[in-house]
Amino acid sequence: MAERSVAFVTPRYGAGVIGGSEAVMREAAHGFADRGFDVEVLTTCASSHYTWANELPAGTTHDGLVRVHRFPIDHAPSLDAWAKVDLRLHQGERLGPDDELRWASGRFRVPALYHHLLGSTHDAVVFSPYLAWTTVACVPAVADRAIVMPCFHDEDAARLGLFRGLLGGSAAAWFLSEPERDLAASLGPLGPRPSVTGAGVHVPDGHDPQRFRSRYGVSRPFALYAGRRELLKGWDRLADTFLAARAYLDLDLDLVTFGANDLREDLREAPGIIDLGALPDEDVADAFAAATVYVQPSRNESFSRTLMEAWLAGTPVLADGGGAVVAWHVRRSRAGLLYGDDHELARALQLVASQPEAARRLAAPGRAYVLEHYRWGVVLDRMEASLLDVCRGQAS
């Protein structure tokens, strides 16, 4: 069989880029390259999803076996105009077609990438996430070869008419969980080849919690939060509930956090909150292993890699039961607890702090769950089967 060519189109790319979609796309690209595919990444010169500034040089470089082609961003649209439309969207206002286009194009556009795709000969082109201009504007250029990994959340933007035909007009869709697929089905047609592929998680060679404690001076038991410290990720609510639990329930836990974004000013010196900033990759697995419990307060997830990292480390999980995806994982794995409100979260933290060994036993099924469903080899098998089905569809 001749070597298959696949392109991965993502708005940001690189080892230092923080984002669930971006991480899955990069790791999938490397996985396909390792399996003998000719792999190219088509992306922008931006690294920040806040400024979308052209910080990286345009042109072609290599990331291992993967070719990386970066295109400059066109900042002609006004971010201020986009912000006004975005505010109206989140206030529940129904947007007309013109406003939807302003919203989709307001942060950035990459016309050179679109024109590149028009002349491309890739056997398949994978796009993610659905919100990005590089997906919604560029999928039509290669619709018969387009595979969309949307990373849908249950959010206002997902209901824009602009996205309603995105999956139905593509050759295939890759979903990271069954609840994400069900949400997509409620929003519009799924197209001819929908697949629940999941996302892959690398299995560490081992965990050394004591090394983490020594390196970062963390001596007390702690709850862990990893990821973007943002309102929409549930971080502010978690931090406020934690501080209230320490004050009123005499909670014997610290809260350790690492990831993107600075903390709110009032949290920087708050008692019991330890901010490690951007943690080096080699310390992440050890941080999960050292934690008494991992807390996932976000309802805006299409997969939640951090749940898997906690379970691989043998660490129990507390998760917001209002998030369909994280609740699905917790119930399916039977390796965590769900909470419904701030009071239940505070009580669950108190329970875990007072009975850490029982909490560890609760986490025991989690590692087997991850190994069975989300090792990269297993996930790549699903993705490759779908991609080759798209290639066969073009040949017929």
**Is residue 1 predicted with pLDDT exceeding 50?**
no
Burial per residue of 226-250, b for 16 or more beta-carbon CB atoms within 10 angstroms, e otherwise: bbbbeeebbbbbbbebbbebbeeee
CA distance readout (Å), 140 to 19, 114, 137, 166, 335 = 25, 10, 7, 9, 42
Angle, helices 20-34/376-395, rounded to nearest 10 degrees: 70
**Is residue 23 predicted with pLDDT exceeding 60?**
yes
Q: Average pLDDT of 321-332? A: 95
Q: Average pLDDT of 7-24? A: 88
Average pLDDT, the chain: 91
Residues 186 and 319 in one domain: no
Q: Average pLDDT of 10-26? A: 87
User: What pLDDT shows up at residue 76?
Assistant: 62
Radius of gyration (Cα) for the chain, nearest Å? 21
Residues 317 and 383 in one domain: no
Residues 368 and 314 in one domain: yes
* pLDDT grade for 78, boundaries at 50, 70 and 90: low
Residues 164 and 130 in one domain: yes
Residues 187 and 285 in one domain: no
Bigger pLDDT: 281 vs 82: 281
Q: Average pLDDT of 335-359? A: 93
Residues 356 and 389 in one domain: no
Cα angle for residues 343, 349, 352 (degrees, 5° grid): 140
Per-residue pLDDT of 161-201, as tens digits, reads 888 888 999 999 999 999 999 999 998 888 889 999 999 99
Residues 273 and 196 in one domain: no
Residues 347 and 277 in one domain: yes
- The C-alpha atoms of residue 326 and residue 332 are separated, in whole angstroms, by 10
User: What pLDDT shows up at residue 77?
Assistant: 59
Number of folded domains that form the chain: 2
Bigger pLDDT: 294 vs 98: 294
Residues 386 and 324 in one domain: no
User: What pLDDT shows up at residue 174?
Assistant: 96
What CATH code is carried by the domain that includes residue 254? Answer: 3.40.50.2000
Per-residue pLDDT of 199-251, as tens digits, reads 999 999 999 999 999 999 999 999 999 988 888 888 999 999 999 999 888 88
- pTM summary value: 0.89
Percent of the chain at pLDDT above 90?
67
Residues 174 and 219 in one domain: no
* pLDDT grade for 366, boundaries at 50, 70 and 90: very high
* pLDDT grade for 309, boundaries at 50, 70 and 90: very high
- Domain extent, residue 107, equals 5-200+375-395
Residues 219 and 172 in one domain: no
Residues 90 and 133 in one domain: yes
Per-residue pLDDT of 104-162, as tens digits, reads 787 889 999 999 999 999 999 999 999 899 999 999 999 999 999 999 888 888 888 88
Across the beta sheet with 124-127, the strand order is 59-63, 66-71, 38-44, 5-9, 124-127, 146-148, 172-175, 194-196
